C-alpha cells in the first residue's frame, strides 16, 4: 500500500473556489472534523462525513450531514464525487480511504492545511500571524506562555490547534484575533505542508509516535515543517532539534539554550533570560519567575520569548507574560505534601523524553509509570535516572517492558508491577514479596499504585506520576489519568507513608 506525503500548494484562491458546489469528504468526526463543517459551507462546498465509529456517524447524520462508510468509499468509483478529502490528524497516511483518494488523484489535506488556506483566502477577515509551536515535549506549556506574553502586550490573540481550540474555530471568532499561538502535533504537521508561520519553533525531538510515522527520521521531518516561515526557532540543547537548524527553510533561524547564549541565540546568564538574537542584549525575565520551575520550564519560556520577540514584542511584556503564566494541570503540577513526602502529577509526560525532565527535577523519586510506549525505547531513560529512583510502580500495557528495563539498569530498586487484573508482582527488594490488589478499573489501579508508592517514600522523597507512555490503554486520556492520580493522593493519610519500608 502506497502512503501519501502531501505537497504544498502555491495559491489558495483557485482551490477554494473550486470547492464551491462540490462534495468534500471529512475523514474523522472528532473535534477537528466538527470544526470543518461551517467553513466548508461558507465556501459553498458540501461536507460528507466518514468515521469508523457508528456513534460518530449517527451524530453527524442527526445534524443533517451526509455520511459514507469506509467500505462504501472503497467501492470502485465511489471517491470520484469528491473534490477534496480533509483528514483528521490521527488518520495514518496508509489508511485505505486516503490511499485510494491519492490513487484516484484526489488531494488529501489535514484540517490545519485547510485552515491555513481559509486564512490566506481572508474568508474570516485579514490574514493572521501564525506562531507555531511543536516538539515532543513542552508544546502546551510553550503555547500557553506565548499566549500569556501576547496578552501582556495587549495583542488580540488566541491559543489554538492541538491545545484544544481548533484553528478554524479561532478564525471564526468575533472579534477575530490578529495573532494565533498554534500548538501543532507531528500528525497535524504531516498533513499541513503549506503552512508558513510568521515564526515557528521546534522545542525538541525524541522518540514518540514512531508507530504512526514509521521511524524517527519521518517524525523529525514532520516537526521540521514548523521551520518554513519568516523565523525558525530551535532548541539547541536537544541534538535532533539542533540538527534541524541546519536544514531549516525559514528565512532566519535562531536558537535557544539553557546556558550562555551566543550571538543569534537566547539563553540564561546569572539567573536571567537573555535575548541576543533580536537585539544586542536584552534581559527578558528572571529564572525564579518561571512556572513550572526547572530546566524544562526555562526552555519553554525561552522558546515563547523567541517567538514573541520575533514579532517585535517588547522585553517588558515578555517579562510580564511569563510572570503571569502558571503551569496547567497534569504538567509537573504539585498536588500535596504529606509527612514530608511531595506528590507531583506529570501525567502529560507521555513519552520517555518528557519523563526524563520530570524525574531529573527531583533528587529522590518513587516513580509511577506505564501505559503505551508507542514504539519508544525506555532503557536509556532508566539507565540515566536509576540513581534517583527509590522505587517504581508500573502498570498498563507496556509495564513489563519498563519492569524489564529496571531489572537491567536498576536491579537494586524495588519495582512493583500491577496488572490489569488482580495481581501485583514485585521485582527487586524484597524479592520474595507478593502483593495482591483488588482492582476494578483504571481508577482502582491508580489508587493501588499511589498507595504502594507512598509506602516506599520517606521524608524528602517525591512520589512522581511521570508515565513515559500514553494513557489510552486504561484511561480516557492523560487528563483522566492525572485526575485519577490526584484523587488517589488526596485519599492518603500519614499512615500510608513509609509502610513498605
Contact criterion met (CB below 8 Å) for 388 and 359: yes
- The cell for 93 is 497516511
| 306 CB burial (10 A radius; 0-12, 13-18, 19+) | buried
Neighbour tally for 112: CB within 10 Å: 28
- CATH class of the 12-114 domain in this structure: alpha beta
- The cell for 430 is 524484597
Give the span between the Cα atoms of 353 and 135, in whole angstroms: 11
Q: What share of the chain is helix, strand, coil (3-state, %, to 5)?
A: 40, 20, 40
- CATH class of the 333-425+432-496 domain in this structure: alpha beta
State the pLDDT at residue 93: 87
Partnered with residue 108 across adjacent β-strands are: 85
Provide DSSP, 88-143. Answer: -TTS-TT-HHHHHHHHTT--EEEHHHHHHHHHHTTTTSSPPEEEEEE-SS-HHHHH
State the pLDDT at residue 334: 84
Q: Residue 111 — φ and ψ, nearest 5°?
A: -65, -30
Give the span between the Cα atoms of 93 and 8, in whole angstroms: 16
State the pLDDT at residue 215: 66
Euclidean distance between the first and final Cα of the chain, in Å? 55
- The cell for 103 is 490513487
Tracing cell 539498569 back to the chain, one arrives at 409
Q: Is CATH 3.40.1190.10 the classification given to domain 124-324?
A: yes
Q: Along the chain (501 residues), what's the average pLDDT of each consecutive run of 10 residues? A: 53 73 95 94 96 93 95 95 93 92 94 96 94 92 95 96 91 93 94 96 78 72 95 96 94 97 97 96 94 89 98 98 85 87 92 88 92 91 94 96 96 89 38 32 94 95 95 92 95 91 67
As annotated, the binding site includes 135-141
State the pLDDT at residue 2: 42
3-state secondary structure of 426: strand
Q: Residue 336 — φ and ψ, nearest 5°?
A: -170, 170
3-state secondary structure of 437: coil
Give the span between the Cα atoms of 204 and 26, in whole angstroms: 31
- Order across the sheet with 82-87: list the strands: 66-67, 46-50, 23-27, 82-87, 108-110
Domain ranges of the chain: 12-114, 124-324, 333-425+432-496
Query: For strand 389-395 and strand 108-110, is the pairing parallel, antiparallel, or unpaired?
Result: unpaired
As annotated, the binding site for ATP includes 135-141
Amino acid at each position: 500500500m502506497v502512503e501519501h506525503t502531501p505537497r504544498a500548494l502555491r495559491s489558495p484562491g483557485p482551490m477554494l473556489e473550486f470547492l464551491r458546489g462540490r462534495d468534500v469528504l471529512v475523514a474523522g468526526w472528532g473535534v477537528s472534523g466538527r470544526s470543518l463543517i461551517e467553513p466548508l459551507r461558507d465556501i459553498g462546498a458540501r461536507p460528507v462525513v466518514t468515521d469508523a465509529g457508528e456513534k460518530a456517524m449517527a451524530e453527524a447524520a442527526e445534524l443533517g450531514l451526509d455520511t459514507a462508510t469506509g467500505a462504501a468509499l472503497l467501492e470502485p468509483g465511489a471517491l470520484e464525487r469528491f473534490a477534496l478529502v480533509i483528514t483528521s490528524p490521527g488518520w495514518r497516511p496508509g489508511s485505505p480511504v486516503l490511499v485510494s483518494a491519492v490513487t484516484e488523484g484526489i488531494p488529501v489535506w489535514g484540517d490545519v492545511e485547510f485552515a491555513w488556506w481559509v486564512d490566506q483566502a481572508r474568508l474570516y477577515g485579514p490574514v493572521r500571524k501564525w506562531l507555531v509551536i511543536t516538539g515532543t515535549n513542552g508544546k502546551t506549556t510553550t503555547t500557553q506562555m506565548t499566549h500569556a506574553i501576547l496578552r501582556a502586550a495587549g495583542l488580540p490573540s488566541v491559543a489554538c490547534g492541538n491545545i484544544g481550540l481548533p484553528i478554524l474555530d479561532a478564525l471564526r471568532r468575533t472579534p477575530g484575533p490578529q495573532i494565533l499561538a498554534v500548538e501543532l502535533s507531528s500528525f497535524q504537521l504531516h498533513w499541513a505542508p503549506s503552512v508558513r508561520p510568521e515564526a515557528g519553533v521546534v522545542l525538541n525531538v525524541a522518540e514518540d509516535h514512531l508507530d504512526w510515522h514509521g521511524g524517527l527520521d519521518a517524525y523529525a521531518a514532520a516537526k521540521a515543517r514548523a521551520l518554513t516561515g519568516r523565523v525558525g526557532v530551535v532548541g539547541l540543547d536537544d541534538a535532533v532539534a539542533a540538527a534541524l537548524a541546519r536544514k531549516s527553510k525559514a528565512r532566519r533561524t535562531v536558537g535557544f539554550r539553557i546556558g550562555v547564549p551566543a550571538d543569534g541565540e537566547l539563553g540564561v546568564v546569572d539567573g536571567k533570560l537573555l535575548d541576543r538574537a533580536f537585539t544586542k542584549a536584552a534581559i527578558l525575565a528572571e529564572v525564579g519567575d518561571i512556572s513550572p520551575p526547572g530546566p524544562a520550564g526555562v526552555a519553554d519560556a525561552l522558546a515563547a520569548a523567541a517567538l514573541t520577540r520575533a514579532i517585535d514584542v517588547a522585553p517588558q511584556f515578555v517579562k510580564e507574560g511569563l510572570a503571569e503564566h502558571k503551569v496547567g494541570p497534569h504538567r509537573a503540577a504539585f498536588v500535596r505534601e504529606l509527612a514530608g513526602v511531595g506528590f507531583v502529577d506529570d501525567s502529560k509526560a507521555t513519552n520517555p523524553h518528557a519523563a526524563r525532565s520530570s524525574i531529573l527535577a527531583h533528587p529522590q523519586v518513587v516513580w509511577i509509570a506505564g501505559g503505551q510506549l508507542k514504539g519508544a525505547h525506555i532503557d536509556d531513560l532508566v539507565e540515566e535516572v536509576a540513581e534517583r529512583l527509590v522505587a517504581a510502580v508500573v502498570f498498563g500495557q507496556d509495564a513489563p517492558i519498563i519492569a524489564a528495563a529496571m531489572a537491567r539498569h536498576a536491579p537494586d530498586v524495588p519495582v512493583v508491577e500491577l496488572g490489569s487484573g488482580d495481581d501485583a508482582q514485585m521485582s527487586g527488594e524484597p524479592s520474595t514479596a507478593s502483593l495482591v490488589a483488588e482492582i476494578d478499573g483504571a481508577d482502582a489501579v491508580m489508587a493501588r499504585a499511589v498507595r504502594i508508592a507512598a509506602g516506599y517514600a520517606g521524608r524528602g522523597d517525591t512520589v512522581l506520576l511521570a508515565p513515559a507512555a500514553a494513557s489510552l490503554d486504561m484511561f480516557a486520556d492523560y487528563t483522566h489519568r492525572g485526575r485519577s492520580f490526584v484523587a488517589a493522593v488526596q485519599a492518603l493519610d500519614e499512615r500510608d507513608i513509609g509502610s513498605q519500608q
